[in-house]
Amino acid sequence: MPKRMLQGVVVGDKQDKTVIVRVERRFTHPVMKKTVRRSKKYHAHDETNQYAVGDTVWIEEHSPISKLKRWAVVQGEKRAK
């Protein structure tokens, strides 16, 4: 079974080799028929500490690295300054 890939924005980078990524999903509400946005935060492993707040990254499922980290950063794009 392939590993899940998610795209999100880095919202925290204070920990060593870890970034916190906010992943947003959009869906239509079943009753109201309105588009709703929901987000969730994931702790992801960033081996080289190269991503900072505001960068867009792709994360992939990984075997447990620590208590909270089950995702690893695969690739990313730096935020335009």
19-41 confidence digits (pLDDT tens): 999 999 999 999 999 999 999 99
CA distances to 3, 6, 33, 76 from 43, in Å: 16, 12, 32, 15
Average pLDDT over every residue of 67-80: 93
Whether the per-residue pLDDT at 6 is higher than 80: the answer is yes
User: What residues make up the domain containing 56?
Assistant: 5-77
Statement: the pTM of the whole predicted model exceeds 0.85? yes
- To the nearest whole number, what is the mean pLDDT of the chain? 96
Whether the per-residue pLDDT at 80 is higher than 90: the answer is no
Report the CATH number that the domain containing residue 32 is assigned in CATH: 2.40.50.140
CA–CA distance, 14 with 27 (Å, rounded to integer): 31
Domains of the chain: total: 1
In this prediction, residue 1 carries a pLDDT of 85
